[in-house]
Amino acid sequence: MSEKITVDLGNVQKTMLLPLWGRAFESKKDRPLLVDQTAMRIIDAVDYDFSSLTDNLSDLTQMAWIMRSLCIDETVRIFLGKYPAGTMVNIGCGLDTTFDRIDNGTLLWYDLDLPDVMRLRRQFIRETDRRKFITASFLDEGWLNDIRVTDQVLFIVAGVFYYFEESEVRDFLVRLADRFLGCEIIFDASSPRGIKTANRMVIKRSGLDEKSFLKWGLKNAETLTTWDSRFQVLNTHYYFGPNGHHLGFRLRLIGWISDRMKIQYMVHLRMIG
């Protein structure tokens, strides 16, 4: 039996283990909404007591991670339908495995995260000519010079922005518009009420401390258009509307309430001229 790999991460970085576990857990169901072979392989290989994070989580929380992945997968596939040689930049990639599910054989993919995360990621996922790794904080400006765009670029940001202050998120989006006019970005957001709920129902229940608390809440995606005239909201994706029919009555009902309260949703922007 091969030796398991030890996980040694900071407080915020530990939260990346939650959606990884969620995808692996879903993949093992009899009728999964998503199958993620890479997530199952990583979960089996790491030396970590996931019960310390997951024992007190609700079914809705686990399902929300799946809905987020399905939304991102579909957004990327539509984008690649228009730009088959497009560039994807996965910011705060953690142990995300979207590339393995959507690779069309021609895209260029960048994974970006902090040093401790990227060290762990390299133990499971191999860098290639079309799948490149960048070790940096998204708040740094230098890494933007490393992005090569031959067709068009889509930035993917899952489980990241709400750990930062609004001013930091705004400044970053402005930098993207300055450097990659015409680019698109999809990211998850939460209303201020959703931030409080997530901190109480997910972070605390996972045994993580206040250093892992979410900060930035976005009540309405259209607010972003007041930050910069170049920001165009292409879509707002609520998690449980499109795929709710796959769930039991109880989860459908709670999911409907979650969507109405904007506990968590996806925003798809384009930076226009």
- CATH number, position 131: 3.40.50.150
Instruction: Characterize the bridge pairing of strands 184-189 and 153-157.
Output: parallel
Centre a 10 Å sphere on the Cβ of residue 5 and count the other Cβ atoms it contains: 14
The one-digit pLDDT tens for each residue of the chain (273 residues) are: 467 777 766 655 667 788 888 999 999 999 898 999 999 999 888 887 777 667 767 777 788 889 899 999 999 999 999 999 999 999 999 999 999 999 999 999 999 999 988 988 998 999 999 999 999 999 999 999 999 998 999 999 999 999 899 999 999 999 999 999 999 999 999 998 888 877 765 555 555 555 567 889 999 999 999 999 999 999 999 888 766 566 776 777 777 777 777 888 999 999 997
In Å, what is the CA distance from 51 to each residue of 18, 60, 130, 207, 269? 10, 17, 35, 10, 36
88-185-211 Cα angle (round to 5): 100
Q: Where are the beta strands (DSSP E) in 141-183?
A: 153-157
Q: List Cα–Cα distances, 139 to 64, 164, 205, 209, 266, in angstroms.
A: 26, 10, 29, 23, 21
Whole-structure pTM value: 0.88
Encoded tokens for 13: 């970085």
For residue 16, report the phi and psi dihedrals to the nearest 5 degrees.
-70, -20
Q: Which tokens hold the place of 269?
A: 């922007």
Domain count, the chain: 1
CB 168 within 8 A of CB 139: yes
Domain carrying residue 22: 5-271
